[in-house]
Amino acid sequence: MNEHRPDMIELSAYFDGELDPARQRSVAAHLAACPACAAQFDLLRMLAADFERLPAETLGFDLAGVIEGRLAAAPRPQPRHDRGWRGLLPVSVGAAASVACGIAMGFALFGGAAAAPRVALMSVFDTMPPGSLCIGLESCYTNGAKR
């Protein structure tokens, strides 16, 4: 009898009906003949019965209604698909537009409009101040008066 004595792991699995059919039968036969193992088995039964008597805890309100309300406001979850190269199309178009825009701006800054600031800069070294007013020699005004 002892050579087939089930350990607690087997007894527990037997109680749950999780042993293979042959072992399930041999444990049943052992329990019928072994009071010690039968007592152990009774403890497992008692424990399971006590679990059944535990108070049935409930949430106490309709969570479904709450969740439904929240979901109505939330965006729908999108399945993740592998979109391949088409998925990258908007990104590449955007990148190309950014580069083109950058080139155009650079051209505008350092191309046609670049001359004007240079002239303004050079005028600092001119003998004539802006507005053609000479703050220097008197002859300047004399020359103008002759004319």
Partner 1 sequence: MECMISRTDDAEAELVVRAQAGDHRAFALLVGRYQDPVFRFVLRMCGIRDEAMDLTQDTFLKAYRALPAWRPEARFRTWLFQIAHNATLDVLRRRQRVEFVPFAEDAPEGAILEATDPAPTPEQALADRQRIVLLERALRELPAEQREVLLLREVEDMSYAEIAATLGIGEGTVKSRLARARVAALAHYRGHAGENRDE
Least distance (Å) from partner 1 to the CB of residue 27? 13
Residues that bind partner 1 (CB under 8 A): 7-9, 11-13, 16, 18, 35-37, 39-40, 43-44, 46-48, 50-51, 53-59, 62-68, 70-72, 74, 76-80
Least distance (Å) from partner 1 to the CB of residue 84? 19
Least distance (Å) from partner 1 to the CB of residue 102? 38
* Strands annotated E in the chain: none
- Beta carbons within 8 Å of 121's beta carbon, 6+ residues apart: none
Cβ–Cβ under 8 Å, residues 42 and 49: no
Nearer to partner 1, 54 or 137 (CB): 54
Nearer to partner 1, 11 or 27 (CB): 11
Cβ–Cβ under 8 Å, residues 66 and 37: no
3-state helix, strand, coil split of the chain in percent (to 5) is: 70, 0, 30
Structure tokens at 36: 């010690």
Least distance (Å) from partner 1 to the CB of residue 29? 18
Nearer to partner 1, 65 or 130 (CB): 65
Structure tokens at 125: 């070294």
Nearer to partner 1, 50 or 138 (CB): 50
